[in-house]
Amino acid sequence: MSPSYSISDLARELDITTRAIRFYEEQGLLSPERRGQERIYSGKDKVALKLILRGKRIGFSLAECRELIGLYDPTAGNQKQLNTMLGKLAERRAQLEQQMLDIQQMQLELDTAEERCRAALEETLKKQSIN
């Protein structure tokens, strides 16, 4: 029998709130079994939740997480899911590299603006001290 988890078990184990888990459920990313009012999460739900949290940390959208979860197929060795994940990781890395270049360019522009302001301020102070 595969392991099952209550919402509080998952929240405690993964260090997130039960509200966050319910949100992901509302978004269709998790589908726990119901026993009356109680939610029973499977091992697959736990894996999906870990994937969501990892995806969130590296900047994936919920739609991207949903896509990756939908590709989960342990019978096929998750080959399609893993290949898709590698592609998304490469895309994310390229985005981050572009953002780093953009930040470096902005820093250069800030340095230039700061130098001009300091030079103008120095010039203004010199004129004032002469008069």
Do 98 and 53 have their domain in common?
no
Provide the domain limits for residue 109: 71-131
pTM, two decimal places: 0.74
With respect to residue 63, please indicate whether it lies within any of the assigned structural domains. Answer: no
Q: What is the spatial distance between Cα 70 and Cα 80, in angstroms, rounded to a whole number?
A: 10
pLDDT tens by residue, 61-102: 999 999 998 888 778 788 898 999 999 999 999 999 999 999
Do 95 and 127 have their domain in common?
yes
Please give the sequence-ordered ranges of beta strands (E in DSSP) within the chain, or none if there are none.
4-5, 33-35, 38-42
pLDDT tens by residue, 14-24: 999 999 999 99
Q: What is the spatial distance between Cα 83 and Cα 35, in angstroms, rounded to a whole number?
A: 36
Q: Which residue matches tokens 């896509």?
A: 67
With respect to residue 66, please indicate whether it lies within any of the assigned structural domains. Answer: no
Q: What is the spatial distance between Cα 22 and Cα 4, in angstroms, rounded to a whole number?
A: 16
Do 50 and 75 have their domain in common?
no
Q: What is the CATH number of the domain that holds 43?
A: 1.10.1660.10
pLDDT tens by residue, 16-52: 999 999 999 999 999 999 999 899 999 989 989 999 9
Q: Report the number of distinct structural domains present in the chain.
A: 2
Is residue 77 helix, strand or coil?
Answer: coil
Do 44 and 22 have their domain in common?
yes
